[in-house]
Chain A
Amino acid sequence: MAYSDKVIDHYSNPRNVGTLDKSKKTVGTGLVGAPECGDVMRLQIEVDEATNTITDAKFKTFGCGSAIASSSLATEWLKGKTVDEALAIDNMEIVEELALPPVKIHCSVLAEDAIKSAINDYRVKNGLPALELEKSHH
């Protein structure tokens, strides 16, 4: 399968690969996917409590090039956004930006799930109720 230039760019030069201290109250961690399905994403955000803004984002992904690119792109988009803005990121925006083919849409869904899961982890750590998330369908 031919990958788009943007997927190749994120795969070759992934942004924000790494690990944040998940024990910190200001860090939210989302771990989604499953090894037997061939993709696992871990996405982490660090939130500035005063402004409710995401100051840092890191990822590690086990998966195909599109999964790696989707999570790399997500971390780029997350930095500087408020938590509410981050929640509004839709997987189809990732699909469009990376020009993912239909068989790779699940990678973008996984990235959206990872964002929401990280935000929920942050919320729960800070005494906020977890948000009801739309049940993913991949």
Chain B
Amino acid sequence: MLKLPIYLDNNATTPLDPRVLDAMIPFFTEVYGNAASRNHPFGWAAEEAVDYAREQIAQLIHCDPKEIIFTSGATESDNLAIKGVFEMYAQKGNHVITATTEHKAVLDTCKHIEKLGGRVTYLPVNEQGLISLEELEAAMTPETILVTIMYGNNETGTIQPIQEIAKIAHKHGALFMTDGTQAVGKIPVDVIADGIDLMAFTAHKMYGPKGVGALYVRRKSPRVKVTAQMDGGGHERGMRSGTLNVPGIVGFGKACELARLEMAQDAERLSKLRDHLEKELLTLEESYVNGSVERRLPHVANISFKYVEGEGLMMGVKDLAVSSGSACTSASLEPSYVLKALGLSDDLAHSSLRFGLSRFTTDEQIEYAIGHVKEAVTKLREMSPLWEMHKEGIDLNSIEWAEH
């Protein structure tokens, strides 16, 4: 029996895998020691569990366990990496390069360092959401200390050419950081092969618990250091103080182990399911895929349905939990900056839905979603003056719309 609503917002967060929960439970009530307590068995047991999780995580991204710094999540990791590098490498330079489609945790952190005297270049993207390697190369200066470009985009799933970006950064003596939040656990991410120096990622996007994330900080060639942004007991090799979230970390470790073992089959199944969803929805007239179809995370589809408004559409697809590129719920009425950066007009950005599939998404759920979305789009278009004008052959750009 199909249970409604159907959760298809897995880029926002994923459900916890029951196997992850099983691994975590003993660490709430039985093994509750502080991993930093070195003088009794309660602390040793907690530390042992944390070390094991560190190994599980390191195996997934192909790094040394010592290179994992635990944080509260990807936002904190992004902050620590960018601010930490900016402070640590201040003598070398003050220039950071990023892209306009980054997550706010990166963009707003860059804004912050601009206030501190940093200089930031925000690279534009093409209609697929990809940065230009030539533009990156041209933006590099002797003062560039960090290039930070996300692995896979949260709204469109577009995967940037990470290895090529890393090579350009290194050629000019800069560090390369990536926000791997949406990619890690979904596609193979290998920090050695990819040339990554710092990477932010989090448990709750890969069937782990919320409230725990990590920053990968390379220890060899080069040895990367970041200035701590949280002062205290000097945990995590002095880079992030604060008592470790042992149950969370255990869950993160288990989630990484499951991802490593099951990623290939999950990705194959989900990309087929996603492609089916997309193919069916594109049979609706005037519907468009946003982002790159060739270079994309396997579980994401972002589609604009022209002439219907995103929030109205969300209400029409009430049996689905999805996300819209329309920010009509906020007073600003600003549509998604990511979609706008791809060159979408405001009205197309307003008209988009993002579908994020998960390990737990079934064929039956996707079949239902297809019918439900088609019905809602059709109904709303019958109600839409823009659709009527379009059908009459009126060019909407020829109309002088009242500003408001």
Name A residues whose Cβ lies closer than 8 Å to a Cβ of B: 1, 3, 11, 14, 17, 19, 31-42, 60-65, 67-68, 103, 106, 110, 113, 136, 138
Contact = CB atoms under 8 A, between A and B. Distances in A.
Given A37-B404, A64-B311, 7 more contacts: A3-B315, A34-B403, A36-B347, A37-B333, A38-B346, A62-B385, A63-B328
Nearest to B335: A38
A64 B401 contact: no
Contact of A35 (B331, B347, B383): B347
B404 A61 contact: no
Contacts, number: 93
Interface of A is mostly: mixed
B2 interface: no
Given A61-B385, A63-B309, A38 B402 contact: no
B385 A41 contact: yes
A38 B328 contact: yes
B337 to A, nearest CB: 14
Contact of B402 (A3, A32, A65): A32
* Residue among A32, A39, A106 with the highest chain B CB neighbour number at 10 A: A39
A91 B224 CA distance: 59
A2 B217 CA distance: 42
B309 A33 contact: no
Contacts of A103: 329-331
Contact of A67 (B312, B330, B347, B388): B312
A35 B328 contact: no
A64 B385 contact: no
Interface of B is mostly: loop
A125 to B, nearest CB: 19
B31 interface: no
Given A32-B402, A33-B404, A38 B385 contact: no
B385 to A, nearest CB: 4
B329 A11 contact: no
Interface in B278-325: 307-312, 315-316
A42 B385 CA distance: 6
Contact of B384 (A11, A38, A60, A110): A60
Contact of A68 (B312, B328, B402): B312
B345 interface: yes
A106 B404 CA distance: 9
Contacts of A17: 382-383
Nearest to A41: B385
B350 interface: yes
Contacts of A19: 388
